[in-house]
């Protein structure tokens, strides 16, 4: 008789599949205002409790509570709300444009707008983000990036700043602190650490912000980045956007079961926070805390942003095949736009009328931007960057073999 | 100087000239590298310019890409070329593509040094020649010196180059030239004219081959240790071969190759790396395309066998002067 029963392979499953309801109790939420706010010079080991709690400011009634409320000016919050609404309006319109086959591909960030927008508004000019493909809010929260130019990239037209070389949404905006997006997941996480090391090597005061999703934390570059960030006490913010899903794969398959992604940071000797990603004020407050810590040379911070990927993974994805259709409605942290709007209304700085008027104005703005961008062509009508430009930029100067290949093509 | 001293001198010169140059890798800092290539550099330039890295090739190259995006000029070391594979994604998907995919918004002006090649009883993971893995990647430059003078000049050129450069160093040549006669004592670089290396700044241009041994009867295309083996083989076989040291493997100096083959009308390609889909296949194709009507014989390849690099069978694996000499005779008789 065997002393032990046969071993079994454990394969995590989400509680909710199509046709049934997700049990969100696995999220381990803390009430708004309940989580402490340590000094920015806290030792990483002393953030262990924070890695398993949730920093939240806005409660169910839209009231700001607790030590993480930075008491932001209403005008600032209104700007944030508008930037989130702009991001969502942009996404909605581009989704339609993809369905109309004007774009080959699109990825929205529905439900995650607060994270990129509130974080972007916490950084300074000269800081560098190393985003994934789902941080368009970092660009759309800025006044110096025109939607027309973004749409030109999406259309791969004659005014595409990256000359039609990349898939839609793979933007690059050095001047806006937005590093060139790569299709290869997690690669930018360690690059952000390197960029911030460079800032430290040169005695600069700029910091880097690294971005990754829950699924990609399983890539080796995630662990590598944590090691380097810790070893060299790097001025970097390591953001993990836990939207619960990596395409069809629940975050438990990425290693999230019975633990948190913030906890990985503490294990690597990095101060770590776990934050309500749908709470604009909490996102901004935690980002400011981490930025201050980095800028004062106190080292890196890892922040797990708990949110929900409300939309499809991309325009090539159908989430109804693997998760409940009403999942977002039941997600306990709600909708970041509704929550900030409710707060602003509660303090008398926003109204339903203003909300609706802003919504309409933003929709009109996106439509106008799209119309202008389409004037410069698209994949559809063949007005794309010159074919000869395909050979440029592989190297700084074009080598002989590429010159010959360009000639073979008739250019 | 030995090749080790020449490489160290190149890094010393560039650390001095350009405050954006930084040098890091495993054991590179305090200890000065397992091959002594960075000895004394940390003491001279400080830990923020020359430093030890965790054992993570993807981390070393990935941070270097980020530093390049910031505006630094990183010179990183992979301890052995055999261990570069964990960094493959960062090299191929990131460093090589960054300028292109961002339309010049960001660039990766980095140099990735790695000791390569066999002939040292290094076995499977201390002997590989992975150059073909990199020459196939658009956006990379792949370089391999064969002597101390070129090593310093090419490394300075690589560091100054705004494109990412894979800089392969044949460790068999670190202390002296090696012609494949493993039974003879090694002659140190101090006894060889190519060991005479200027102290200060100079560079050897990338994409320029060198005629290592002039000849009239057959062109040998080689790089690294095989340049020395080929020259010895020619002398021993009594064939007046013109041995061309490619120096820059890709992009390469096609003009020097084509004019030589058009003159000699015969060609043998020699490399340590395994045969199938090795860089030799590209060289054979180029010579065939550009010199077809001048060729008197099929182009031959003398390479490592299509096996992992063995330990005990080192000299049966390594393409030594006997094998190269036999090929030279075959093409002369064809």
| Tens of pLDDT, residues A41-68 | 999 999 999 999 999 999 999 999 999 9
Lay out the sheet containing A128-130: strands in order across. A128-130, A208-213, A236-242, A301-306, A271-276
pLDDT in tens, B271-300: 999 999 999 999 999 999 999 999 999 999
DSSP B64-112: HHHHHHHT-EEEEE-S-GGG-GGGHHIIIIIITTHHHHTTTSS----EE
In B128-187, the residues whose Cβ lies within 8 Å of chain A are 138-139, 141, 161-163
Which residues of chain B does A193 touch, with a Cβ-Cβ cutoff of 8 Å? 62-63, 66
Specify the pairing of strand B218-222 against strand B73-77.
Answer: unpaired
Among B48, B59, B100, select the one facing A201 at the smallest CB separation: B48
- Whether the pLDDT of residue A294 is over 90: the answer is yes
pLDDT in tens, B71-94: 999 999 999 999 999 999 999 999
Q: Which helix (H) or strand (E) holds B25?
A: strand B21-25
Among B90, B102, B251, select the one facing A187 at the smallest CB separation: B90
* Residue among B4, B59, B107, B16 nearest B24 (CA): B59
> What rounded mean pLDDT belongs to chain B?
98
**Cross-strand partners of B220:** B243, B268
pLDDT in tens, B105-134: 999 999 999 999 999 999 999 999 999 999
The chain B residue lying nearest A389, using CA atoms, is B103
- Whether the pLDDT of residue A1 is over 80: the answer is no
Size of interface A-B (CB pairs under 8 A): 137
Question: Are the C-beta atoms of A94 and A110 separated by less than 8 Å?
Answer: no
**Whether B59 and A173 lie within 8 Å, measured CB to CB:** no
Cα distance between residue B216 and residue B212, in whole Å: 13
pLDDT in tens, A195-227: 999 999 999 999 999 999 999 999 999 999 999
- Whether the pLDDT of residue B38 is over 70: the answer is yes
B58 in contact with chain A, both atoms CB, cutoff 8 A: yes
- Looking at the annotation, which residues of B are catalytic? 126
**Whether A180 and B106 lie within 8 Å, measured CB to CB:** yes
The pLDDT value recorded for residue A221 is 98
**Whether B62 and A190 lie within 8 Å, measured CB to CB:** yes
Distance, in angstroms, between B152 CA and closest chain A CA? 23
- Torsion angles phi and psi, residue B122, rounded to 5: -85, -10
B102 in contact with chain A, both atoms CB, cutoff 8 A: yes
Which residues of chain A does B59 touch, with a Cβ-Cβ cutoff of 8 Å? 190, 221, 224-225, 227-228
**Whether B103 and A400 lie within 8 Å, measured CB to CB:** no
Distance, in angstroms, between B14 CA and closest chain A CA? 17
**Whether A182 and B94 lie within 8 Å, measured CB to CB:** yes
pLDDT in tens, B131-190: 999 999 999 999 999 999 999 999 999 999 999 999 999 999 999 999 999 999 989 999
- This complex has an ipTM of 0.97
DSSP B161-228: -SS-EEEEEEGGGSSS---S-TTSPPPPGGGSGGG---SS-----TT--EEEE--SSEEEEE-THHHH
* Residue among B68, B63, B66, B29 nearest B45 (CA): B29
pLDDT in tens, B223-239: 999 999 999 999 999 99
Q: Which helix (H) or strand (E) holds A365?
A: helix A352-375
Q: Which helix (H) or strand (E) holds B303?
A: strand B300-304
Give the pLDDT mean for A342-367. 98
Give the pLDDT mean for B63-76. 98
Which residues of chain A does B64 touch, with a Cβ-Cβ cutoff of 8 Å? 194
The chain A residue lying nearest B91, using CA atoms, is A187
Q: How confident is the model at residue A379 (pLDDT cuts 50, 70, 90)?
A: confident
Q: How confident is the model at residue A2 (pLDDT cuts 50, 70, 90)?
A: confident
How buried is residue A99: exposed, middle or buried, by Cβ count under 10 Å (0-12/13-18/19+)?
exposed
């Amino acid at each position: 008789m065997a002393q032990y029963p046969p071993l079994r392979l454990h394969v995590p499953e989400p509680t909710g599949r199509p046709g049934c309801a997700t049990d969100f109790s696995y999220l381990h939420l803390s009430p708004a205002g309940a989580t402490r706010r340590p000094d920015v010079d806290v030792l990483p080991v002393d953030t262990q409790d924070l890695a398993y709690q949730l920093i939240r400011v806005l409660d169910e009634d839209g009231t700001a509570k607790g030590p993480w409320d930075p008491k932001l000016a209403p005008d600032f919050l209104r700007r944030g709300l508008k930037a989130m609404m702009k991001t969502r309006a942009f996404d909605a319109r581009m989704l339609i444009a993809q369905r109309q086959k004007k774009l080959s591909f699109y990825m929205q960030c529905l439900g995650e707008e607060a994270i990129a927008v509130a974080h972007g508004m916490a950084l300074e000019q000269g800081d560098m983000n190393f985003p994934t493909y789902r941080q368009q809010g970092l660009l759309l929260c800025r006044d110096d990036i025109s939607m027309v130019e973004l749409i030109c990239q999406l259309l791969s037209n004659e005014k595409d700043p990256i000359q039609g070389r990349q898939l839609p949404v793979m933007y690059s905006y050095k001047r806006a602190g937005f590093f060139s997006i790569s299709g290869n997941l997690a690669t930018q996480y360690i690059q952000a650490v390197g960029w911030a090391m460079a800032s430290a090597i040169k005695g600069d005061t700029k910091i880097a912000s690294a971005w990754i999703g829950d699924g990609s934390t399983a890539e080796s570059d995630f662990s590598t980045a944590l090691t380097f960030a810790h070893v060299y006490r790097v001025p970097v913010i390591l953001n993990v956007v836990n939207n619960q899903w990596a395409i069809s794969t629940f975050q438990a398959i990425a290693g999230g079961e019975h633990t948190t992604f913030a906890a990985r940071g503490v294990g690597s000797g990095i101060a770590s926070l776990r934050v309500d990603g749908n709470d604009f004020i909490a996102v901004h407050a935690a980002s400011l805390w981490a930025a201050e810590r980095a800028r004062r040379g106190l080292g890196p911070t890892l922040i797990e942003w708990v949110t929900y990927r409300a939309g499809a993974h991309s325009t090539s994805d159908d989430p109804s095949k693997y998760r409940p259709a009403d999942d977002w409605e039941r997600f306990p942290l709600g909708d970041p736009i509704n929550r900030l709007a409710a707060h602003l209304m509660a303090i008398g700085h926003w109204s339903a009328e203003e909300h609706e008027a802003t919504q309409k104005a933003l929709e009109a703005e996106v439509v106008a931007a799209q119309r202008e961008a389409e004037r410069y062509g698209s994949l559809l009508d063949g007005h794309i960057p010159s074919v000869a430009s395909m050979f440029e930029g592989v190297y700084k100067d074009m080598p002989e073999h590429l010159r010959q290949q360009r000639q073979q093509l008739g250019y | 100087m030995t090749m080790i001293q020449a490489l160290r001198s190149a890094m010393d010169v560039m650390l001095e000239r350009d405050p954006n140059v930084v040098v890091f890798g495993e054991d590179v800092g305090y200890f000065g590298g397992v091959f002594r290539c960075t000895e004394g550099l940390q003491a001279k330039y400080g830990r923020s310019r020359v430093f030890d890295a965790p054992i993570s090739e993807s981390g070393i190259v990935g941070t270097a890409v980020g530093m390049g995006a910031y505006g630094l000029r990183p010179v990183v070391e992979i301890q052995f070329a055999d261990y570069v594979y964990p960094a493959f994604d960062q090299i191929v998907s990131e460093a090589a593509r960054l300028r292109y995919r961002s339309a010049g918004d960001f660039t990766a002006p980095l140099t990735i040094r790695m000791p390569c090649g066999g002939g040292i009883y290094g076995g499977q993971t201390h002997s590989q020649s992975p150059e073909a893995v990199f020459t196939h990647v658009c956006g990379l430059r792949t370089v391999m010196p064969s002597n101390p003078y070129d090593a310093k000049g090419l490394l300075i050129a690589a560091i100054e180059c705004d494109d990412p450069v894979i800089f392969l160093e044949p460790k068999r040549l670190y202390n002296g030239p090696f012609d494949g006669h493993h039974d003879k004592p090694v002659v140190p670089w101090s006894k060889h004219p190519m060991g005479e290396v200027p102290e200060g700044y100079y560079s050897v241009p990338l994409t320029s081959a060198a005629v290592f041994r002039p000849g009239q009867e057959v062109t040998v295309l080689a790089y690294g240790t095989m340049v020395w083996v080929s020259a010895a083989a020619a002398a021993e076989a009594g064939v007046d071969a013109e041995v061309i040291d490619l120096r820059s493997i890709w992009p390469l100096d096609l003009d020097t190759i084509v004019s030589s083959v058009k003159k000699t009308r015969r060609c043998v390609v020699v490399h340590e790396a395994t045969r199938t889909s090795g860089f030799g296949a590209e060289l054979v194709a180029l010579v065939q395309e550009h010199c077809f009507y001048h060729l008197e014989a099929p182009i031959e390849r003398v390479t490592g066998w299509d096996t992992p690099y063995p330990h005990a069978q080192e000299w049966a694996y390594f393409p030594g002067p006997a094998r190269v000499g036999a090929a030279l005779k075959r093409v002369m008789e064809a």
